[in-house]
Structure 1
Amino acid sequence: MFGVQGGAAHLRTADVASCSHIGCPPAVACSSASHAPQRRRLRLWLSSPCLRTLGCQHLLPLCSNRRQPWRLRRSLRVSASSKQEGGAAKQQAQQQQQQAQQQQAQSRTQQQQAPAQQPLQASQQAPAAGKQFLFEPTFGLPVARRYLGYGDLLREIRLGNVKQLLFFAQGEELELEGPCLVVDHNNVVAQSYVPHFDYRIPYAMETHGVKASRLSAAPSQAELTPSVGVSARTTKLVTTALPLLAILVVYIATQVAHALKGDIDDRRKIRRVESEKEAEAALQREADALAMEARELAALGLDVDEICRQLDRLQLPYERSYVEDLVAKEEQKAAAAPEVMGPVYTYNTEAEKQAEAMREEKRKKQAEEEGADEMEKMAQFGKMTSVKITMRRDEREEEMKVKVRAAQRRMKGVKLQYTDEDRVFFDDVQGIGDAKIELMEVVDFFRVPDLFKRSGARIPKGVLLCGPPGTGKTLLARAVAGEAGVAFLSLNASEFVEMFVGVGASRVRDLFAQARKLAPAIIFIDEIDAVGRIRGGAQGNDERDQTLNQMLSEMDGFDQDVGVIVMGATNRKDVLDPALIRPGRFDRIVQVGLPDFYGRIDILKVHLAKRAASVGEDVEPNLHELSYATQQFSGAALANLVNMAAMIVGREGRQKITYDDLVQALDYERLGPKRRPYSDKRRKRLAVQEGATALVCALLPAIEPIDHVTIVPREKFPLGQTVLKVNEARQQTHLFTRRYLEEQLLTVLAGRAAEELVYGKDGMSTINQRRLVMARRIVQKLVVSSAMSDNLDIGPRTVSTPRGGGGSSLKQIVLSRVTSETHLSVDQEMEAQLNAAYSSVLAMLSRNQAALDAIMDALLNSDKVDGATIKEIVGRLADPADLERRKLEQEVFM
């Protein structure tokens, strides 16, 4: 093997034996454990260039160490591969050796120019150009800061950059393995590691003249630990990444601090709000306790000073004015009915008077018999009994109010009604006569439930109110609760549905649980179609379906003796789930429609009475006219109408609401706000159109009376309008006679005929385009859908059906079974009726030219003319023959 001693390497053959193969080196035939160093030297020698040159494959391992057989096999494989390489490997080795010798020669020349022998330099010495001394003397040994891997060390040796290797040897012989220090020609030291039984490093050292030396000191484990060298790329990466990493850390820390700060602020706000709520609840509890205690003391007949002393003893905060008000109310109540025990319903006043007279006479007789003192005691005893009973009823009422307030705090979005100030009664609801009568029976379910129980009747679990928007469904439900004297829980169905699944069902359970605690009570769910729609389908919703299922389950679980009724309101009954409106859940369905003529009058009276401004004397006589003008108005629309009139009064600084204010508010509600006025030429054309329409309406007996005519441009009617009074019976039934349709056709064509009469055919415009379309629809209704034509080719049959299935629709769909000849006959008949009507109205306007001019002048002067003025002008300037015919037809046909 190679031994390094004193800087020279030589081969020892004392421990080897002969081999039977010619030219093969001897092999060791020792298997003793004490000869481990010899076995290592053998394996190192087997990996030497000698065997690579000979390529012996017959050398067998004679060592019996089985734990490392792979090392011997690797040596044999290397020997076999070297033989196969042959001369090419040898030639390559020679070329590498020549290159190494050239490099060594260059390095020797540089060393001759420098001092002959330089010791190992410390890191404090200045480095050479392009080099850096990466070691320093520590404990007498050089400590390298640079580490060369196995491949780097082998490459540096083959390039001739390594001067010597310093191994840490502890025995007599130097082993070329383990940790070592690498010294280059500039005396720069690096740290490396040579694996055990490696042959490439020793072969490269021998080939390139690298010396192997011994370091006498045994380094510590910390000094021998291989360290990873710091390359330029690593240095650049560290210098670039560390600032970025620091910036990122600072940014994250800033965001976290900001988030924590916001979270802390939110938590502080939440705690502050919770503390405010707790303080408010505490104040409310104190107020409830004060109200109950003060009411009890006042009911006992104590004066103000005694009640204040009692409250001070109980440490309840109070105001003396509040106590004085309670005492005054109790005194008034005692003066009005000193002997009444709770609320009394008087059904027969005469009978009550007779009974009271009999009781008074009986007391007088007893006073005469027993004496005045005993009678006074009895009277006092009766008063105390009455007071005790009244106290118990007041105590229950106060407890219920406390429960209602507690439930209001627990339930978000639910409106509760129990106190007298919040109650609504049937007298506050007007214009809903039939619905009110049906709901009075629901009130009796709460007042006298025994009547229905004795007859075996089952109290309905739910009542559904259906009707257009604004008809008073919610107000009617509150009136039911107010009349029955029960708690009223009201909320909108949209508050059930949330984005999180299960929230709606939880709110339904909470609502019904609170209602059971407050029983007897009424649960009112407004716009119930928001949660009660048909389940499944394309518009299905899991959250809504779960909420509806929970509601159905809660309504099924009602006991008849619980005293809770569910009331719902909707204007879309057709979209509700059938399981919701079946008997057993919503047992009763009440239709709440628009108010009729007298219902609108009652509603207007109610809302006018609630206004702070007084009502003028001209309002009451004209309520019938206003009711005619507000046909198809709901209760909410009438309330808005009165409110707009009050706003007009307030804007002008007046104190009374007049009829003109209501009319002005009605015009704004029905026609919209005013637009910018037109030019004089356009105003005249509008006056021609509306004046002719008003004139024809006044001359035809079947047409409704004129309310007013205007040429003021409005948002909804920019071309003016002739407003007629509504025939309510005709609008409700939608029954139109042939005469009415024919006269309506004349009124529609009047504007076009007047334009031709005034401006000529060349001066006509498109201002009557929409009315011509309406005229064709009226003729189509006469001929096509209603079979009112005298044409024998068409006969008494309908050629089309109304669109949408409604009889009042003017849009028709022609049936596919009608032949083309019938179509032609229908078109000819419609054209003939249109032409005849146009000729008739043109002749009528020609005969009444003076009346038309007068109406036009009135419109141009004031922009608006009422029906009475139109009637006066027509009666004074119209053709006498037309007036006579109108009067005769009204007497005969109307």
Structure 2
Amino acid sequence: MFLYKIYFLFFKIIFKIKKNIIKILFLLFLSYKFYIKKKIKIIIYSDFLNELYKKNVKKILIDGDYIYGITTNNLEFKTIFNKIYLSKLIKILIKNNINIEFFRQFQFFNFIYCKYFYIIIFILFIIYQIFFNKSNIKKKKNKNKIKFNDIVGCNEAKLEVKEIIDFLRKPVKFLKLGCKIPKGVLLIGPPGTGKTLLAKSISGEANVPFLYISGSDFIEMFVGIGAARVRDIFNKAKKIFPCIIFIDEIDAIGRKRNLNINNEEREQTLNQLLVEMDGFESNNKIIILAATNRPEILDLALLRPGRFDRKIFMNLPDINNRKKIIELYFSKIPLFYNVYSKMLSKTTYGFSGAEIYNIINEAAINSTNKNLRLISMYEIEEAKDKNLIGLKNQSYIIDKCNTAYHESGHTIIALLVYKHNPVYKVTIIPRGKTLGVTMFFSIKDNYNLSLINLKNHICTLLAGRIAEEITSGLNYITIGASNDIKQATELAYNMLAKWGFSSKLGPIMYIPDNDNLNIKYGKFSSSKTYNKFDLEIQKIINNCYLDTKIVLKTKRNLLNIMSKALILYETIYYNQIINIMKCIFI
């Protein structure tokens, strides 16, 4: 009994240790101690019979093909025999007045150990999860602090967050006018825009404890554990308030509750979070900071004022902010003299800060592999092309002439139409799934496109197919324009379904704003509307196709010159393109 008390005491101590591997080893040790068999002397059957006739055997136990026995000297032994001789052996044992047993005292425990050992371990694991498991929340240490000065490209977000930090540092200043600190701040933005980085900078700027956890850390297969972890987090925060709790990727637990989809564990976790953020108990000195890139799927009860009072939108950086981000990364690496942050910022329209960093890091890796001391613009361009399109396909055998005419068509139309982004690079080197590509740069970011801009973009997309038709004939056009046709069709579809650029259909949105861009006609109310819609798309595409064909036929000489330059150099840049447009072949 005393031994069992010692085991129980060790059991309590071991479960207070955080490392799971120690707990598992301890359970295995206990199982070994309880169920392992003692070492017994093994003898041959003839020796057993000799001892039997000498009357040195006091007791035996028969278990299948094994005989376990105890001698008159209390020594244990084991032997193997054939069951054919069992009846003869029993007669000898009865004649010599030897006790016989057919069941061992520890057989049941051996049976459990052999057949159900892992089930026992699994049950113990469930008990541990329910009664002993706690949240994985971590407290931010003060080493390697990230400050606001280390972050560029999100000045508006920094200003809003600074107010909360000032509130925590100087609460009296705000309380004089009856202000209340915001209970929650939700950071919203596409992936890679710096939401988590901004949260890290808050921990560096605020002189209060900073606790952080991921949304997925709450969810387990056992119902009730997520809610218990939420309670545990807020109990820890109440002991060290004022403090900030940062929940990354909150959409893992904050999804809208749906009657048709039953997920009891996630809903219990969400309900507990709602109560902790704004229930009967007030947590005025605890600020919840959360980040997500899918705000449309979050539950409305979570988004209301009183829980998340502020929503900070972190959009993709514009051309000026991209320049600042690039300069920040350039300041940390050795550069060749021909590297300009302004040019790179123009050619990275739509890139996030994380994508820009990835390009510069790839360029640094390529330069290191080539044993270069400085990073040149060529390495940066290679890294950007690899990121956007893919690696060079050296094994592709392509018709360079046809691809050159195709890319020349895109380039010429892009330079001739009204207010189109300039072309800075054209290549017929296969990369990824493309046989060639025409790249543009933006002088300024244009977020408000007009009808003429959209039509000109469709003309540019169709120009490659038209160039093939003019130079090779209708029977020899290729499937190389499949992606261009897809983009042109989707753009025409959005012009009608989302933006209302049709006098016949009117300014009506036929698809929800959060729908994807794939063509779906199931949203329309009638077949008559569908027919109108279909005719309008054909009209836009056909008109752009005819207009582009007329222009390229008049510029056939430019088409020939540019295609020859592409066949010769494989890649041509802005200055060469401008000279070709002036009919100066270099």
TM, length-normalised to structure 2: 0.70
Query: Deviation per CA, 1:203-251, whole angstroms, max 9, x where unpaired?
Result: xxxxxxxxxxxxxxxxxxxxxxxxxxxxx9x969x99xxxxx999x999
How far apart are the structure 1 equivalents of 2:515 and 2:260? Answer: 32
CA drift of 1:778 comes to: 6.3
Please name the residue that 2:338 is paired with: 618
Query: Deviation per CA, 1:530-576, whole angstroms, max 9, x where unpaired?
Result: 11223352333222222223222322369778632111111122222
- Is residue 720 from structure 1 mapped to residue 436 from structure 2 by the alignment? yes
- Tell me the amino acid that sits aligned with residue 857 of structure 1: K
Query: Does the CA contact (< 8 Å) of 1:787 and 1:796 recur in 2?
Result: no
| Aligned match for 2:567, one of 841, 860, 867 | 860
SS in 2 for 1:585: coil
SS in 2 for 1:696: helix
- Is residue 693 from structure 1 mapped to residue 410 from structure 2 by the alignment? yes
- Tell me the amino acid that sits aligned with residue 336 of structure 2: G
How far apart are the structure 1 equivalents of 2:308 and 2:530? Answer: 53
- Is residue 503 from structure 1 mapped to residue 225 from structure 2 by the alignment? yes
Q: Mind listing any 5+ residue stretches in structure 1 that lack a counterpart? A: 1-231, 240-244, 268-409, 790-794, 879-894
CA drift of 1:855 comes to: 1.8
Kindly tell me: are residues 525 and 709 of structure 1, through their superposed partners in 2, closer, same or farther at Cα, counting changes over 3 Å?
A: same
- Is residue 744 from structure 1 mapped to residue 450 from structure 2 by the alignment? no
Matches of residues 291-690 of structure 1 in structure 2 within 5 Å? 413-419=136-142, 421-556=143-278, 563-610=285-332, 613-619=333-339, 622-679=340-397, 682-690=399-407
For the pair shown, the structure with the greater C-alpha radius of gyration is 1
CA drift of 1:667 comes to: 0.8
Query: Does the CA contact (< 8 Å) of 2:469 and 2:476 recur in 1?
Result: yes
**Number of matched pairs:** 477
Query: Does the CA contact (< 8 Å) of 1:674 and 1:713 recur in 2?
Result: yes
748-757 or 432-441, larger mean C-alpha shift: 748-757
Kindly tell me: are residues 761 and 482 of structure 1, through their superposed partners in 2, closer, same or farther at Cα, counting changes over 3 Å?
A: closer
Kindly tell me: are residues 557 and 604 of structure 1, through their superposed partners in 2, closer, same or farther at Cα, counting changes over 3 Å?
A: same
Query: Deviation per CA, 1:644-680, whole angstroms, max 9, x where unpaired?
Result: 1111121112232222222211111111222234336
Query: Does the CA contact (< 8 Å) of 2:500 and 2:506 recur in 1?
Result: yes
Please name the residue that 2:506 is paired with: 798
SS in 2 for 1:489: strand
How far apart are the structure 2 equivalents of 1:508 and 1:827? Answer: 52
SS in 2 for 1:498: coil
Kindly tell me: are residues 822 and 718 of structure 1, through their superposed partners in 2, closer, same or farther at Cα, counting changes over 3 Å?
A: closer
Query: Deviation per CA, 1:588-612, whole angstroms, max 9, x where unpaired?
Result: 22112211211112222223334xx
How far apart are the structure 1 equivalents of 2:236 and 2:500? Answer: 62
CA drift of 1:579 comes to: 2.3
How far apart are the structure 2 equivalents of 1:826 and 1:424? Answer: 54
- Is residue 874 from structure 1 mapped to residue 581 from structure 2 by the alignment? yes
- Is residue 844 from structure 1 mapped to residue 564 from structure 2 by the alignment? no
Query: Deviation per CA, 1:252-284, whole angstroms, max 9, x where unpaired?
Result: 8498389989999xx9xxxxxxxxxxxxxxxxx
750-759 or 701-710, larger mean C-alpha shift: 750-759
How far apart are the structure 1 equivalents of 2:507 and 2:172? Answer: 61
Kindly tell me: are residues 727 and 777 of structure 1, through their superposed partners in 2, closer, same or farther at Cα, counting changes over 3 Å?
A: farther
Query: Does the CA contact (< 8 Å) of 1:801 and 1:815 recur in 2?
Result: no
Query: Does the CA contact (< 8 Å) of 2:459 and 2:544 recur in 1?
Result: no
How far apart are the structure 1 equivalents of 2:265 and 2:533? Answer: 54
SS in 2 for 1:768: helix
Query: Does the CA contact (< 8 Å) of 2:498 and 2:513 recur in 1?
Result: no
Kindly tell me: are residues 504 and 721 of structure 1, through their superposed partners in 2, closer, same or farther at Cα, counting changes over 3 Å?
A: same
Kindly tell me: are residues 759 and 260 of structure 1, through their superposed partners in 2, closer, same or farther at Cα, counting changes over 3 Å?
A: closer
CA drift of 1:771 comes to: 3.6
CA drift of 1:451 comes to: 0.9
The share of aligned pairs that are identical, in percent, is 33
Kindly tell me: are residues 691 and 251 of structure 1, through their superposed partners in 2, closer, same or farther at Cα, counting changes over 3 Å?
A: farther
Kindly tell me: are residues 824 and 489 of structure 1, through their superposed partners in 2, closer, same or farther at Cα, counting changes over 3 Å?
A: closer
Please name the residue that 1:256 is paired with: 113
- Tell me the amino acid that sits aligned with residue 722 of structure 1: T
SS in 1 for 2:322: helix
Query: Deviation per CA, 1:106-138, whole angstroms, max 9, x where unpaired?
Result: xxxxxxxxxxxxxxxxxxxxxxxxxxxxxxxxx
Kindly tell me: are residues 597 and 543 of structure 1, through their superposed partners in 2, closer, same or farther at Cα, counting changes over 3 Å?
A: same
Query: Does the CA contact (< 8 Å) of 2:157 and 2:312 recur in 1?
Result: yes
Query: Deviation per CA, 1:823-848, whole angstroms, max 9, x where unpaired?
Result: 898589558725632541342233xx
| Aligned match for 1:760, one of 473, 481, 491 | 473
Query: Does the CA contact (< 8 Å) of 1:801 and 1:812 recur in 2?
Result: no
SS in 2 for 1:579: helix
How far apart are the structure 2 equivalents of 1:583 and 1:743? Answer: 44
817-826 or 468-477, larger mean C-alpha shift: 817-826
SS in 2 for 1:491: strand
How far apart are the structure 1 equivalents of 2:456 and 2:366? Answer: 39
Q: Which has the higher contact order (CA 8 A, sep 6+)?
A: 2
Matches of residues 111-126 of structure 1 in structure 2 within 5 Å? none
CA drift of 1:522 comes to: 0.9
Query: Deviation per CA, 1:696-735, whole angstroms, max 9, x where unpaired?
Result: 32333432210211112222x42311112236543x22x2
Query: Deviation per CA, 1:21-73, whole angstroms, max 9, x where unpaired?
Result: xxxxxxxxxxxxxxxxxxxxxxxxxxxxxxxxxxxxxxxxxxxxxxxxxxxxx
How far apart are the structure 2 equivalents of 1:488 and 1:539? Answer: 35
SS in 2 for 1:568: strand
What's the Cα RMSD here? 4.1
- Tell me the amino acid that sits aligned with residue 367 of structure 2: V
CA drift of 1:852 comes to: 2.4
Query: Does the CA contact (< 8 Å) of 2:211 and 2:245 recur in 1?
Result: yes
Kindly tell me: are residues 505 and 422 of structure 1, through their superposed partners in 2, closer, same or farther at Cα, counting changes over 3 Å?
A: farther
How far apart are the structure 2 equivalents of 1:541 and 1:569? Answer: 22
Query: Does the CA contact (< 8 Å) of 1:418 and 1:485 recur in 2?
Result: no
How far apart are the structure 1 equivalents of 2:393 and 2:486? Answer: 25
How far apart are the structure 1 equivalents of 2:445 and 2:426? Answer: 23
How far apart are the structure 1 equivalents of 2:279 and 2:533? Answer: 63
SS in 2 for 1:614: coil
Query: Deviation per CA, 1:607-642, whole angstroms, max 9, x where unpaired?
Result: 3334xx4233333xx212211211111122122122
Kindly tell me: are residues 863 and 571 of structure 1, through their superposed partners in 2, closer, same or farther at Cα, counting changes over 3 Å?
A: same
How far apart are the structure 1 equivalents of 2:542 and 2:119? Answer: 81
Please name the residue that 2:42 is paired with: none
Please name the residue that 1:59 is paired with: none
SS in 2 for 1:615: coil
SS in 2 for 1:656: coil
How far apart are the structure 1 equivalents of 2:258 and 2:466? Answer: 58
- Tell me the amino acid that sits aligned with residue 574 of structure 2: G
CA drift of 1:527 comes to: 0.8
How far apart are the structure 2 equivalents of 1:436 and 1:631? Answer: 23
